[in-house]
Structure 1
Amino acid sequence: MILYAVTLSPFAARVRLALRVKTLDYAMQPPPGGGTRSPEFLAINPIGKLPVLVTDDGLAIAESETIIDYLDERFPAPSLLPADTGERVRMRNIIRSFELYATPAMSRLFKQMDPVTRDEATVAAEIANWRNGLALTDRFTADAPFAAGGAISKADCILLPSLLLCEVVAQIFGLDDPLADCPNLAGYRAKARRHPDMGAIWTETADALAAMRAGK
């Protein structure tokens, strides 16, 4: 399999974690043709975004969550879907609460990165929205070895890189630890960074992001 992605992408990190947990072999490559808008890459993914997984039989799969779902269906062991019904509900609540209430605010904050052009009122409003999304996600996160319970799941694939991105947002806007008021998420982050698979993905992605920011 080929994963078209870059190491610094938190969305690619979601897929890389799923591949690592399932011990699947793959080659990671940058988009062909020099970028995501090249004709060569658009022929693979007309959306023009990373990551994209191309299977050994030529199936091109776009969007990180869709890729993770494919991997879990095609390679079901170990499963990223909790066996317990309650944990499956928790997994979905974690993903939905973060994606619906924290991610959009972060996306809008990234448009305010430049201190020269940023609108401080917009920044303040979106930071409040972002913190609200984190608080909601915190309510669903388990006080357990993994985000949804006793085993690694799709929630971990989504949440771990997202929390790393939260740290980047905090650094850009000079904020304290964004999880200071989210004890479940803070505890989860600490445990996740000690886990061999999740910790490796965190470190690789964080190092790539730091190198990118240092090069600016």
Structure 2
Amino acid sequence: MKVYTSTSPAPNPRALAIILKIKGIEPEWIEIDMLKGDNRAPAYKAINPAGQLPCLITDSGFAIAEVSAIAEYLDEIKPDPSLGGNTAEERAETRMRVRQMDYWIIAPFMNGFRHGAGKDFFAGRIPIHEGLSEPSFAMAEGGMAWLDKQMAGKTFMCGERLSYADPIFFGMMEFGAALKMGVSPTHKNLTAYMERLASHESFGQ
């Protein structure tokens, strides 16, 4: 098993590194210089046409992109510990939470960054739309306010069960915090949740 990744600050490679640590899987790591744009170069896009990181290559040579898809594949080949869930309901809950995060928080958050503070870096890599950043961040903030309420009384995103939803959210918000764009302290449940994850042995750098 090989994983194409980047050690540059990036939320998705960070999330997968946490997942692999929890699962106790040590792949062959292949570094792609994202800052130089090597993930958009023809050589890498021949492996992952989306040009995104990370990307896992199975022993048979099949390429899997997207952290949630990789996490579910890893559960299939190494069920213990499961990060998707041990029952149909648990697996559905994990997918539900990830989809909610993607739609209401992560996608708008990244749009806010790419078309705002990060536009100089992303110019030439994606079309930049002036004026998109502020409403995107507003949407992400609304999503976090909603999620903060859902987290009341919960240890992890799926209650008392650690799932791959947790590294995905943590990786994104850790990245945001480094840019002064992380979880607002007004979201007390999410703030406490991030602190719990940061102290978890598998989430340390």
Interval of TM-score (by shorter of Structure 1 and Structure 2) = 0.7 to 0.9
Query: Residues 14-53 of structure 1: matches in 2 within 5 Å?
Result: 14-31=15-32, 35-53=38-56
Deviation of residue 105 (structure 1)? 2.1
Partner of 2:145: 135
CA-based RMSD:
2.9
For residues 65-113 of structure 1, the C-alpha deviation after alignment (integer angstroms, 9 at most, x for no partner) is 2111111112111111234676555533432222101123212222111
Q: Distance between the aligned counterparts of 1:55 and 1:121, measured in 2?
A: 41
Between Structure 1 and Structure 2, the one with more helix by share is 1
Counterpart of 1:4 in structure 2 is 4
SS in 2 for 1:25: coil
**Residues 18, 123 of structure 1: alpha-carbon distance in 2 compared, 3 angstrom cutoff:** closer
Separation of aligned partners in 1, 2:88 and 2:188: 24
For the residue of structure 2 that corresponds to 1:149, the secondary structure is: coil
CA gap 1:38/1:126 in 2 versus in 1, 3 angstroms? closer
Query: Is the partner of 2:40 in helix, strand or coil?
Result: coil
Query: What is the distance in 1 between the residues matched to 2:5 and 2:118?
Result: 26
* Paired residue type of 1:155: A
- Ranges in structure 1 where 5+ consecutive residues have no aligned partner: 205-216
Instruction: Determine if the alignment matches structure 1 residue 184 to structure 2 residue 194.
Output: no
Partner residue, 1:69: 72
Cα separation, partners in 2 of 1:40 and 1:125, compared to 1, 3 Å: closer
Q: Which amino acid counterpart does residue 11 of structure 2 have in structure 1?
A: P
What TM-score results when the alignment is normalised by the length of structure 2? 0.80
Tell whether the 8 Å contact from 1:52 to 1:60 is kept in structure 2 after alignment.
yes
SS across alignment from 2:29:
strand
Q: Which residue of 2 aligns with 1:112?
A: 116
Q: What is the aligned length?
A: 193
Deviation (angstroms), 1:114: 6.5
- Please tell me the residue identity of whatever aligns with 1:157: P
Query: Are the equivalent residues in 2 in contact too, given 1:139–1:184 (CA < 8 A)?
Result: yes
CA drift at 1:151: 2.7
Give the whole-Å Cα distance in 2 for the aligned partners of 1:78 and 1:119.
Answer: 42
Aligned to 2:124: none
- Following the alignment from structure 1 to structure 2, what is the Cα–Cα distance between the partners of residues 17 and 75? 15
* Aligned pairs (5 A) from 1:76-91: 76-83=79-86, 88=91, 90-91=93-94
Change (3 A) 1:39 1:128: closer
* Residue 210 of structure 1: aligned partner: none
Q: Match for 2:199: what amino acid?
A: R
| Identity level (%) | 28
Cα gap change, 1:104/1:81 in structure 2, threshold over 3 Å: closer, same or farther? closer
Q: Which residue of 2 aligns with 1:99?
A: 102
Distance 1:66 1:82, change over 3 A: closer
1:55 and 1:115 map into 2 onto residues whose CA distance is 34
Q: Is the 8 A contact 1:143 1:188 kept in 2?
A: no
What is the TM-score normalised by the length of structure 1? 0.76
The residue type paired with residue 58 of structure 1 is G
2:97 alignment partner AA:
I
Deviation at 1:157, TM superposition (A): 2.3
